[in-house]
């Protein structure tokens, strides 16, 4: 993002540009953590482009207990951290952050840690991470959450130490017709830590959105990182 604009409006604009390029009018928006925040904000801001929502340990709910940032996120909240991380990103910081986001750190492989570390150091990604950390989260938008009408599936890791599962319950209470499922042995990244359970929840829900002709009309899904 050359403009270094990571507001909700800018990120929704980037996602809809992908839809436009793919010639997709509407899609199910699937988002984890900050990506979940972008997804539900899109459902408010551009409802014509959203056929459904899948919120996975999503951020943005005004709820208790409060969000507890992992190491990498805490570093980006400080001025010094934002200056250093774009040029110095130790693998140990990435590993520690992942360990805090997993219910069982033993499930982390060396290959997965290396993949995250490589992606973190991909050209432009470190500066983007620092810029996203100070983007306005527009917390007042939570007051509009009850206006959402898109079908919504909520999936949460019960052992999420970053965004506690009670935040998922807040989404479920606020969004009419939504349904929350909790994966007991997963943390903040249930789609990675418990992929079979996650897909077992996601696939039937996606199929249910198309009725009896599901096999011919499987809804498109756009992942929001």
- Give buried/exposed letters for 19-46 (b at 16+ CB in 10 A, else e): beeeeeebbbbbbbbbbbbbbbbbbbbb
What total of structural domains would you count in the chain? 1
Reported in sequence order, the residue ranges of 86-193 that DSSP labels E, i.e. its strands, are 152-157, 179-183
Of 26, 57, 43, nearest to 222 by C-alpha is: 26
> How much is the pLDDT for 218?
47
Report whether 92 contacts 84 (CB < 8 A). Answer: no
Residues near 82 by beta carbon (within 8 Å), at least 6 away in sequence: 76, 130, 133, 134
User: Rounded to two decimals, what is the model's pTM?
Assistant: 0.87
Residue recorded with tokens 């696939």: 203
> How much is the pLDDT for 225?
60
- Residue 189 has which token pair? 């990244």
User: 133 φ, ψ to 5°?
Assistant: -65, -30
CATH number of the domain bearing residue 3: 3.40.50.1820
Q: Give the integer Cα–Cα distance in Å for 197 and 210.
A: 22
- For helices 110-120 and 125-133, what crossing angle results, to 10°? 80
**196 lies in which domain range?**
1-225
pLDDT in 10s for each residue of the chain, 225 residues: 678 999 999 999 999 999 999 999 999 999 999 999 999 999 999 999 999 999 999 999 999 888 887 766 777 777 666 676 767 788 998 999 999 999 999 999 999 999 999 999 999 988 888 888 888 999 999 999 999 999 999 999 999 999 999 999 999 999 999 999 999 999 999 999 999 999 999 999 999 987 554 443 445 666 766
> How much is the pLDDT for 49?
97
Report whether 124 contacts 131 (CB < 8 A). Answer: no
Pure H helices in 102-164: 110-120, 125-133
> How much is the pLDDT for 211?
55
Report whether 158 contacts 190 (CB < 8 A). Answer: no
Q: Give the integer Cα–Cα distance in Å for 180 and 197.
A: 14
């Amino acid at each position: 993002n050359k403009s270094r604009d990571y507001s909700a409006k800018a990120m929704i604009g980037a996602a809809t540009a992908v839809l436009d390029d793919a010639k997709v009018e509407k899609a199910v928006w699937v988002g984890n953590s900050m990506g979940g925040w972008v997804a539900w904000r899109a459902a408010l801001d551009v409802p014509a482009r959203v056929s459904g929502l899948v919120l996975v340990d999503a951020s943005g709910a005004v709820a208790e207990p409060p969000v507890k940032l992992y190491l990498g996120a805490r570093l980006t909240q400080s001025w010094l951290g934002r200056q250093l991380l774009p040029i110095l990103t130790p693998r140990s910081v990435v590993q520690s952050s992942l360990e805090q986001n997993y219910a069982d750190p033993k499930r982390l492989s060396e290959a997965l840690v290396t993949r995250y570390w490589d992606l973190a150091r991909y050209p432009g990604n470190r500066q983007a991470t620092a810029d996203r950390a100070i983007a306005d989260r527009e917390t007042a938008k939570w007051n509009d959450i009850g206006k959402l009408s898109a079908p919504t599936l909520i999936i949460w890791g019960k052992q999420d130490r970053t965004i506690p599962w009670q935040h998922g319950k807040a989404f479920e209470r606020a969004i009419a017709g939504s349904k929350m499922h909790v994966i007991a042995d997963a943390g903040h990244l249930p789609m990675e830590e418990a992929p079979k359970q996650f897909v077992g929840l996601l696939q039937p829900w996606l199929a249910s959105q198309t009725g009896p002709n599901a096999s011919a009309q499987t809804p498109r899904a756009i992942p929001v990182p």
